[in-house]
């Protein structure tokens, strides 16, 4: 490509994309509900509470789109969509415990309802259930992808814990968000490729698409954490900074701001709160140094790279949906 944006006019709204997958996503939701039921009531209750919390279901949607764009339309994509959502849900419940979060998607987090101990075990159960369901496919490549994914996500959580209260380089930040977020997008696309029997070259291209979409998604998520209102986010604003996390805009301001500005940002990261420096002061520093704009530009670059990753995919309504997804990711407001 010469840098021009690919046309996404054929499918331009989220409603059209999700209408394209309505039946499959509804079936995936039913499968997720069925598979997350346990003989132990507290597991079923916690899993049900998490499932009913909603979410965009973008990861199983990507798996379905990848499979369908390559000609696969079987039930395996429904099952693996539920597997991906179970893995994602397990990571969320563990994240809330680690982050001592009280709110998730505008509701009390599961750990405030059932306590940390039960929620850790429910998260573990969801991981193991995901692998049990994946095993039914009798495909070692699927298991290999899911095992690697789980290891990378644990590594990402540990890296983040080790970086709390300190500044990062941009390289460190990208490594972190790849493991915590983008690898799940990448594997969602790869699983769709495996089901369709795609070539290694196609799997790599669509995996790279997932990686770029996931990176853009997390960068935008981090910007919204700093700039959106609590009513829109469904959780406290600037929760990353309150937890001592330096995200891309903050890293950029630390590298480009004055000594005084750097000291103010580091005070918030060190305090893990706004006791000494107000949130408004940090926002002003980020805007003054063009740090918010920089983060959005990086997200846009990954969105464009994702569209380019689809070059070898045959044209179809499913490819057009995949071309639209990066726009949805970077233009969302929550």
Q: What is the pLDDT of residues 101-136, one digit of tens each?
A: 777 767 888 888 899 999 999 999 999 999 999 999
Give the per-residue pLDDT at 291: 97
pLDDT at residue number 8 = 43
Dist. CA 218–CA 58, nearest whole Å = 13
Residue 5 lies in a domain: no
Selection from 321, 275, 305, 103 nearest residue 210 by Cα: 305
- How far, in Å, CA of 243 to CA of 236, rounded? 11
333 assigned to some structural domain: no
The rounded mean pLDDT for the chain is 90
The CATH number given to whatever domain includes residue 47 is: 1.10.600.10
What range does the domain containing 296 cover? 14-328
Parts of the chain with a pLDDT under 70:
1-12, 54, 105, 231-235, 334
In a domain, 1, yes or no: no
- Asked, for residue 317, whether it belongs to a domain, the answer is yes
Which pLDDT score, from 0 to 100, does residue 19 have? 86
Report the distance separating Cα 79 and Cα 70, nearest Å.
18
What's the pLDDT tens digit per position in 227-274? 987 766 666 788 888 888 899 999 999 999 999 999 999 999 988 889
Q: What is the pLDDT of residue 244?
A: 87
The predicted structure's pLDDT at residue 7: 41
Give the chain's end-to-end CA distance (angstroms, integer). Answer: 31
Determine, yes or no, domain membership for 113. Answer: yes
Does any domain span residue 248?
A: yes
Q: How many domains does the chain have?
A: 1
Asked whether residue 239 is assigned to any structural domain, the reply reads: yes
Please tell me the predicted confidence (pLDDT) of residue 129. 96
Q: At what angle do helices 22-35 and 76-99 cross, to 10 degrees?
A: 60
The answer as to whether 291 is a domain residue is yes
């Amino acid at each position: 490509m010469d840098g021009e944006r690919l046309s996404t006019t054929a499918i331009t709204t989220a409603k059209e994309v999700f209408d394209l997958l309505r039946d499959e996503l509804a079936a995936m939701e039913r499968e997720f509900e069925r598979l997350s039921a346990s003989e132990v009531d507290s597991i079923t209750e916690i899993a049900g509470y998490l499932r009913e919390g909603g979410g965009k279901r973008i990861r199983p949607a990507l798996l379905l789109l990848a499979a369908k764009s390559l000609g696969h339309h079987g039930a395996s994509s429904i099952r693996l969509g539920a597997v991906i959502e179970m893995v994602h849900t397990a990571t969320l419940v563990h994240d809330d415990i680690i982050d001592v979060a009280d709110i998730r998607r505008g509701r009390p987090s599961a750990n405030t309802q059932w306590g940390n101990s039960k929620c850790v075990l429910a998260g573990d159960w969801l991981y193991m259930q995901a692998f049990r369901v994946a095993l039914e496919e009798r495909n070692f490549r699927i298991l290999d992808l899911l095992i690697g994914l789980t290891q990378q996500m644990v590594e990402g959580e540990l890296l983040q814990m080790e970086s709390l209260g300190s500044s990062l380089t941009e390289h460190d930040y990208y490594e972190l968000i790849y493991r915590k977020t983008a690898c799940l997008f990448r594997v969602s696309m790869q699983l769709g490729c495996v089901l369709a029997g795609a070539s290694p070259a196609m799997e790599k291209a669509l995996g790279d698409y997932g990686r770029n979409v996931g990176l853009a998604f997390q960068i935008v998520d981090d910007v919204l954490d700093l700039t959106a209102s609590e009513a829109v986010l469904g959780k406290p604003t600037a929760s990353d900074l309150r937890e001592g996390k330096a995200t891309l805009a903050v890293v950029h301001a630390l590298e480009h701001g004055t000594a005084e500005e750097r000291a103010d940002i580091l005070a918030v990261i060190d305090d893990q709160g706004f006791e000494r420096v107000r949130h408004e002061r940090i926002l002003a520093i980020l805007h003054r140094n063009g740090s918010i704009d920089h983060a959005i530009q990086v997200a846009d670059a990954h969105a464009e790279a994702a569209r380019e990753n689809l070059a070898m995919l045959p044209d179809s309504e499913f490819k057009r949906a995949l071309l639209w997804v990066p726009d949805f990711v970077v233009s969302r407001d929550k």
